[in-house]
């Protein structure tokens, strides 16, 4: 049988989204067509607004509005010379919720397992170096490499450290240890070693 072309098209577009499969996309199309027609307008508007979002040329986080850089980068009460390097926007959000980063951020993008930067990531790193030259007189106070504490994360953090060490007084990574609420009994050996080494 031939499905209505508008159902097929909607399902095809939605099944291209990460983590949405073709069956789920088809069910969504029917759900919206049959009982939530009004949501289609919301989806259309949301997609339209999102298409107008800008990417900060300094930290690569998304932002709305008029300025040439994002709200975090343009906030005068944040230290210019402390930069937390993260892989993705959602990492930035998680860190920002803690209110613990007094400076700015820099999104490098999802790092590969090879420890080699992609062309776009090289461009971003160059932008960070240029930022430090311009805004911090070539020397940042601290760069926090907020990269996941996994084997691949360690590899990438080492690579970034080599790149950035000449441009900062201090270069750190996030502390490792037992997560709050966790139990010593169930912590793995590596985590326990880190927790002992980093005792507070």
C-alpha span between 132 and 141 (Å, rounded): 10
Q: How far is the CB of 109 from a second copy (least distance, A)?
A: 8
Q: How far is the CB of 111 from a second copy (least distance, A)?
A: 15
Beta 54-55 vs 62-63: how paired, if at all? antiparallel
Q: How far is the CB of 128 from a second copy (least distance, A)?
A: 17
Q: How far is the CB of 181 from a second copy (least distance, A)?
A: 20
Q: How far is the CB of 1 from a second copy (least distance, A)?
A: 4
If the CB atoms of residues 55 and 116 are measured against a second copy, the closer one turns out to be 55
C-alpha span between 87 and 174 (Å, rounded): 13
Q: Check: CB of residue 64 under 8 Å from CB of residue 54.
A: yes
For a second copy, the binding residues (CB under 8 A) are: 1-7, 9-10, 12-14, 16-20, 24, 26-34, 37, 39-53, 55, 62-64, 71-72, 88-90, 93, 96-97
If the CB atoms of residues 62 and 192 are measured against a second copy, the closer one turns out to be 62
C-alpha span between 176 and 162 (Å, rounded): 21
Q: How far is the CB of 46 from a second copy (least distance, A)?
A: 4
If the CB atoms of residues 5 and 200 are measured against a second copy, the closer one turns out to be 5
If the CB atoms of residues 71 and 198 are measured against a second copy, the closer one turns out to be 71
If the CB atoms of residues 90 and 162 are measured against a second copy, the closer one turns out to be 90
C-alpha span between 88 and 92 (Å, rounded): 7
C-alpha span between 24 and 154 (Å, rounded): 37
If the CB atoms of residues 93 and 158 are measured against a second copy, the closer one turns out to be 93
């Amino acid at each position: 049988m031939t499905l209505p072309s508008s159902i097929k098209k909607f399902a095809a577009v939605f099944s291209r989204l990460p983590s949405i499969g073709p069956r789920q996309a088809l069910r969504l199309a029917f759900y919206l067509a049959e009982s939530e027609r009004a949501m289609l307008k919301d989806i259309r508007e949301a997609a339209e607004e999102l298409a107008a979002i800008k990417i900060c040329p300094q930290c690569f986080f998304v932002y709305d509005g008029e300025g040439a850089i994002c709200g975090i980068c343009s906030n005068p009460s944040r230290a210019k010379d402390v930069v937390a390097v993260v892989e993705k926007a959602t990492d930035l959000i998680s860190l920002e919720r803690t209110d613990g980063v007094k400076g700015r951020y820099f999104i490098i993008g999802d790092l590969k397992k090879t420890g080699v930067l992609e062309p776009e990531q090289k461009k971003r790193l160059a932008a960070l170096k240029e930022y430090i030259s311009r805004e911090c007189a070539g020397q940042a106070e601290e760069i926090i490499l907020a990269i996941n504490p996994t084997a691949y994360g360690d590899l990438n953090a080492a690579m970034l450290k080599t790149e950035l060490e000449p441009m900062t007084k201090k270069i750190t990574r996030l502390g490792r240890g037992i997560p709050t609420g966790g139990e010593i009994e169930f912590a793995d050996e590596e985590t326990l070693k880190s927790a002992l080494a980093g005792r507070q």
